[in-house]
């Protein structure tokens, strides 16, 4: 989905030396394009010139907002042109029906049709990386989108970038250009980095702690071991709209939820080593207004005299008492996450983090190139029937799947799903899919060698891999969605696995052609031959792949090629 064109001739007068790294531009016509991985790589390289690679995430966020604004504006004007041309509507005066037509188009077809119109009419956003001193990136865009070319002012100022619009001269007709440049004059590294951080004196540390304590509205409560309030910060009483007097401490003690006393005073503070506890949350409803509550985050410790010293900070002021922010120990929440995280597809979690980092809250559909790997255990159903009473089938299955998962992650792959004894994994780098498959087969060979010595049935794996364009998107209904990979590449990879010889790895010719130029003498491929796959009209060209360390698979390399 990303098209490239040769970079323009560089300016010989620039002070920054030109590197030999290819500087092809990124051309964007749709928000659905998967440009962010390539963009991050180029931005990382550019930021290295500024000695501030730590700004990668915030810089990508800055560009994400700018590019999104430009694409939406370009699509808006493109749709205006298309409607005016096809329906002969007068939209120069902002026809009241236009916005509704645009929204209907996006709801029904996404931006696919508008993207095709943009491509047909040479409308695009182009990102180039001139590698000139002080310049991060140059952006060219249709001139009618000029009002939408702006940066998030606060974020740009914070990280030291500014958008400088260029003169139209020298650019394609109908296009404008802008550069994002460094707005902060960096001091030389020897002045910027002294090699040592400033060490605060105890007095300075105490002074800064008091300021932070006040700014963040912290308060202190000291409890007796029986739960009586012995001392309290006036700020806490003020936040709860209680009279600032010693007598109000008794009122507060009565409205603090009982779970706080059970969990903290007689739980965490007694059980935890040293009596320390952190990040416990409790909600207190104001006595004067039952519809208003305050959620506090509390940390503290047990003093040697058995009193409990606690520090309170407001997390949220809730007028509806909805309780959307959970109470209890954040440590417990972390434990729950630790239990459940392995049940969440790695691909979803990784993509969700990327979406949140870019300011979004919904997983978008994505079209990209992937290697899809299927692996299952040959004859596993028969094995289960014959061994249910002889050995733990679940333990054996988990042992195999665990080794498969480890190999996939080791080679930068992602587990999409488990389906009984079958695993589906995804790889953005096609060569890594083959390396992972070879690693899986090595584990399988070692595993089955042990089973052979114990006179147990062999559990041979079949692996099929295909490479091509897939769609990753939301499949299902509200309340039960899978963000998974669909398309012909997935179906073909599954068919290859089912057609594979037990104990072997079968790859498509498309994958072979993609990775064949990478030199790996330890990897050998069979001659090309053809298979008739279920549901496929044409025969599929395929090859077996193995390493020299797996002589047991040599026989399958004698399969004659079909020319």
CA 204, 205, 206, 207 dihedral sign is positive
| Angle formed by the axes of helices 393-410 and 430-453, nearest 10° | 150
Measured from the Cβ of residue 404, the count of other Cβ atoms closer than 10 Å reads 25
CA-CA distance, 473 to 348, in Å (whole number)? Answer: 10
The Cα-based distances of 267 to 253, 313, 317, 348 in angstroms read 18, 20, 27, 36
Q: Which of 158, 187, 216 is the last residue of a domain?
A: 187
Confirm whether 261 is domain-assigned. Answer: yes
Residues 467 and 553 in one domain: yes
pLDDT number for residue 230: 94
> What is the distance between the alpha carbons of residues 447 and 120, in angstroms, rounded to a whole number?
56
97 and 33 share a domain? yes
pLDDT at 348: 65
Residue 13 lies in a domain: no
* Whether residues 412 and 542 fall in one domain: yes
Tell me, yes or no, whether 46 lies in a domain: yes
Residue percentage of the chain with pLDDT more than 70: 75
- Do residues 306 and 435 share a domain? no
Co-location of 144 and 231 in the same domain: no
| 11 found inside a domain | no
- CATH number of the domain where residue 484 is located: 3.30.70.1230
pLDDT less than 50: residues of the chain: 1-22, 93, 185-194, 320-324, 552-554, 560-563
Whether residue 480 sits in one domain with residue 366: yes
Q: Which domain holds residue 147?
A: 26-187
In a domain, 423, yes or no: yes
Of 366, 340, 343, give the one whose Cα is nearest residue 483: 366
In a domain, 377, yes or no: yes
Q: How many helices (H) and strands (E) does the chain have?
A: 18, 20
Q: Tokens 């007796």 identify what position?
A: 224
CB-based contacts of 240, cutoff 8 Å, min separation 6: 252, 284, 286, 287, 294
Residues 6+ apart with CB under 8 A from 38: 2, 26
In contact, 209 and 187? CB cutoff 8 Å: no
In a domain, 124, yes or no: yes
* Count of positions (residues) in the chain: 563
**C-alpha closest to that of 265 among 215, 302, 292:** 302
Identify which of 460, 466, 455, 442 has the alpha carbon closest to the alpha carbon of residue 523.
442
User: What is the distance between the alpha carbons of residues 274 and 303, in angstroms, rounded to a whole number?
Assistant: 9
CA atoms within 13 A on the CB side of 90: 1
Evaluate whether residue 6 is within a structural domain: no
Task: Decide: 263 and 310 in contact? Cβ < 8 Å.
Answer: no
In this structure, are residues 70 and 145 in contact, taking their beta carbons and an 8 Å threshold?
yes
Whether residues 179 and 211 fall in one domain: no
> What angle (nearest 5°) sits at the alpha carbon of residue 52, between those of residues 49 and 57?
115
Q: Which residue has the tokens 């619009």?
A: 165
**Residue where one domain finishes, among candidates 288, 310, 336:** 336
Whose structure tokens read 């089938």? 393
**Strand 135-142's sheet: what is its strand order?**
26-28, 125-128, 135-142, 175-182, 161-165
Terminal CA-to-CA distance of the chain, rounded, Å? Answer: 32
Token output for 222 = 């000291």
According to the model, what pLDDT value does residue 497 have? Answer: 94
Indicate whether 384 and 305 sit together in one domain.
Answer: no
Angle among Cα 475, 476, 481 to the nearest 5 degrees reads: 85
Tell me: do 252 and 386 sit in the same domain: no
User: Of 187, 216, 246, which one is at a domain's C-terminal end?
Assistant: 187
Q: By 3-state DSSP, what share of the chain in percent is helix, strand and coil, each rounded to 5?
A: 40, 25, 35
Q: Map residue 310 onto helix, strand or coil.
A: strand
CATH code at 262?
A: 3.30.450.20
Kindly state whether residues 312 and 405 are assigned to the same domain: no
**What is the pLDDT, as a whole number, of residue 16?**
37
Give the number of other CB atoms < 10 A from CB of residue 160.
Answer: 16
Q: Residue 537 has what pLDDT?
A: 83
Torsion sign over Cα 344, 346, 348, 351? positive
Cα distances (angstroms) measured from residue 542 to each of 12, 381, 530:
49, 27, 6
Q: Is 515 found in the same domain as 387?
A: yes
Cβ contacts of 135 within 8 Å, gap of 6 or more: 179, 180, 181, 182
Cite the beta strand spans of 259-397 per DSSP E: 277-285, 293-302, 308-318, 328-329, 366-377
| Rounded-to-integer distance, Cα 155 and Cα 58, Å | 8
Do 489 and 361 belong together in one domain? yes
In this structure, how many other beta carbons lie within 10 angstroms of the beta carbon of residue 308?
A: 24
Domains in the chain, number: 3
């Amino acid at each position: 989905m990303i098209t490239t064109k040769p970079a323009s001739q560089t300016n010989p007068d620039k002070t920054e030396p030109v590197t030999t790294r290819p500087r092809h531009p990124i051309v964007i016509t749709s928000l659905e394009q998967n440009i962010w991985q390539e963009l991050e790589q180029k931005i990382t390289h550019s930021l290295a010139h500024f000695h501030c690679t730590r700004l990668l995430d915030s810089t990508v966020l800055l560009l994400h907002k700018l590019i999104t604004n430009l694409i939406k504006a370009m699509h808006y004007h493109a749709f205006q042109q298309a409607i005016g041309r096809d329906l002969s509507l007068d939209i120069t005066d902002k026809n009241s029906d236009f916005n509704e037509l645009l929204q209907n188009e996006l709801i029904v077809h996404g931006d696919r049709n508008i993207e095709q119109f943009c491509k047909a009419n040479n409308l695009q956003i182009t990102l180039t990386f001139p590698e000139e001193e002080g310049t991060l990136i140059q952006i060219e865009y249709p001139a009618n989108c000029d009002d939408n070319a702006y940066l998030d002012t606060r974020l740009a100022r914070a990280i030291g970038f500014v958008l400088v619009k260029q003169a139209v001269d020298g650019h394609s007709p109908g296009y404008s250009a802008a550069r994002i440049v460094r707005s902060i004059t960096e001091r030389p590294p020897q002045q910027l980095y002294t090699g040592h951080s400033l060490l605060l004196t105890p007095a300075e540390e105490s002074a800064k702690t008091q300021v932070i304590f006040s700014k963040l509205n912290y308060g202190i409560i000291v409890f007796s071991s029986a739960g009586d309030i012995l001392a309290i910060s006036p700020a806490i009483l003020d936040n709860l709209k209680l009279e600032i007097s010693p007598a109000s401490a008794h009122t507060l003690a009565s409205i603090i939820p009982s779970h706080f006393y059970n969990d903290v005073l007689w739980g965490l503070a007694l059980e935890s080593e040293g009596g320390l506890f952190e990040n416990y949350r409790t909600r207190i409803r104001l006595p004067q207004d039952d519809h208003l509550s305050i959620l506090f985050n509390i940390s503290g410790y047990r003093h040697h005299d058995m009193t409990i010293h606690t520090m309170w900070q407001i997390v949220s002021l809730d007028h509806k008492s909805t309780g959307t922010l959970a109470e209890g120990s954040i440590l417990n929440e972390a434990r729950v996450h630790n239990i459940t995280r392995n049940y969440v597809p790695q691909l979803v979690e990784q993509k969700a983090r990327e979406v949140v980092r870019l300011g979004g809250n919904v997983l978008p559909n994505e079209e990209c190139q992937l290697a899809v790997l299927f692996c299952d255990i040959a004859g596993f159903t028969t094995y289960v029937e014959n061994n249910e009473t002889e050995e733990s089938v679940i333990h054996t299955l988990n042992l195999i799947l665990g080794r498969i998962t480890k190999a996939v992650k080791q080679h930068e792959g992602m587990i999409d799903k488990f389906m009984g004894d079958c695993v589906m994994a995804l790889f953005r780098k096609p060569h890594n899919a083959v390396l992972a498959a070879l690693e899986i087969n090595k584990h399988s060979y070692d595993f089955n060698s042990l089973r052979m010595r114990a006179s147990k049935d062999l559990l041979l794996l079949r692996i099929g891999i295909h490479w091509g364009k897939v769609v990753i998107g939301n499949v299902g209904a509200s309340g039960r969605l899978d963000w998974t990979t669909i398309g012909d590449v997935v179906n073909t990879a599954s068919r290859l696995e089912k057609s594979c010889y037990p104990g072997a790895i079968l790859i498509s010719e498309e994958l072979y052609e993609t990775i064949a130029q990478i030199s790996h003498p330890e990897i050998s491929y069979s001659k090309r031959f053809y298979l008739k796959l279920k549901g496929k009209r044409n025969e599929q060209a395929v090859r077996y792949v193995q390493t020299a360390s797996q002589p047991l698979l040599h026989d399958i390399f004698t399969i004659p090629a079909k020319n």
